[in-house]
Amino acid sequence: MGHTRAAVLVVVLAVAVLGLATDGQAQLQNGFYTGKCRGNDVEAVVQGIVKARFASNSDIVAHLLRLLFHECGVNGCDGGLLVDGTGTEKTARPNLSVKGYELITAIKTELEKRCPGVVSCSDIEVLATRDAVAASTGRRYAVRTGRRDSRRSVATDVNLPGPDDTVPKAAAFFRNLGLTSDDMVVLLGAHTVGVTHCSMIKRSRLYSYGGKAGATDPSMDPNTAATYKRYPCPDTASSDNTILYLDDRSSASKVDNSFYKMLQQRRGVLMVDQNLYNDSSTRWMVDRLANTDHFTWLFPQALVKLGEVKVLTGTQGEVRRVCSKFN
């Protein structure tokens, strides 16, 4: 590929990821909390708490990335996922394994001491995720703040992509959020620090592919499939909860592009991931992210865009005093 064409592709990717701001997004600002927290630097407070947690448990990166996606993928980034109670978003099946709530609570508690009723829970989610990613990559990026928290949290609103989704089905979900298929490929790169369980692939990929007993997904590298069958995921119920890393074990705690190299080798764990390479419409993007360093700057841009989906601003919603319940 010539330098000119490569440069054009980079520009096209950047424009696709950044997109256009909605009215709500337009009201978000860099440094929204400057001068609003009794002399405290809100972003510095969040960063300090997140860095301390990362130092003791790097899994917090994966937890917060998943929390943010499950948050913003349902009614936008409005704090709805954080609410406790019967029938809330938190109780929906896809959210039962979401983690990281206690860190959001710790940050909120500290900020309430410094400036009560000022910093929204939805902003804390976005800031904390940014700082966790920055702790892993060493690269900090700017995020805009000024979100407000919603007064709605309903389990039946939760309709998130599944582990076996095709590219068209997953892309339709992202499109409904105002995100492109390129955004989708970049954001699924969060699986570079993700994990799943054998139960998520045993029937669909290892033992009953296409609903046929004993069939294995032909898009999975045969050696990888054989290894899974022999060791972590034998066809017994006792292996259902065995953890599988979605990236090479040696890179599983790093936010990097090795996840895409796994897909090139047909070693993607989840079908929705491997489909990104199987489908010709997204394969080129996987190749670009695997073969260049573009993931290092496209991933933060995509996270910024995800964090600005359907936000509440101005006088909309509320600023919760406690993230787990409405005021």
Looking at residue 162, the DSSP 8-state letter turns out to be P
Backbone angles phi, psi at 322, to 5 degrees: -130, 130
Nearest to 41 by CA among 165, 145, 132: 145
CA 187, 307, 289: angle at the middle one, nearest 5?
20
Residue type at 21?
A: A
Instruction: Round to whole Å and give the CA distance between 272 and 16.
Output: 22
Give me the DSSP letters along 282-311.
Answer: HHHHHHHHHHSSTHHHHHHHHHHHHTTTT-
C-alpha dist (Å) from residue 15 to 9, 72, 106, 298 = 10, 21, 36, 10
- Cβ contact 74:306 at 8 Å: no
Q: Which residues are catalytic?
A: 70
89 annotated as belonging to a binding site for a ligand? yes
Helix (H) or strand (E) holding 245: strand 243-245
256 annotated as belonging to a binding site for a ligand? yes
Residue 40 has which token pair?
């405290």
Instruction: Round to whole Å and give the CA distance between 238 and 114.
Output: 48
191 annotated as belonging to a binding site for a ligand? yes
| Residue 169, number of CB atoms within 10 A of its CB | 13
Instruction: Round to whole Å and give the CA distance between 103 and 310.
Output: 24
78 annotated as belonging to a binding site for a ligand? yes
* Side-chain half-sphere CA neighbours of 160 within 13 A: 22
Give me the DSSP letters along 68-96.
Answer: HHHHHTTTSSSSGGG--STTSGGGSGGGT
Look at residue 29 and give its three-state secondary structure. strand
Which residues sit in the known binding site?
74, 76, 78, 89, 161, 191-192, 247, 256
Which residues sit in the known binding site for Ca(2+)?
74, 76, 78, 89, 192, 247, 256
Which residues sit in the known binding site for heme b?
191
Which residues sit in the known binding site for substrate?
161
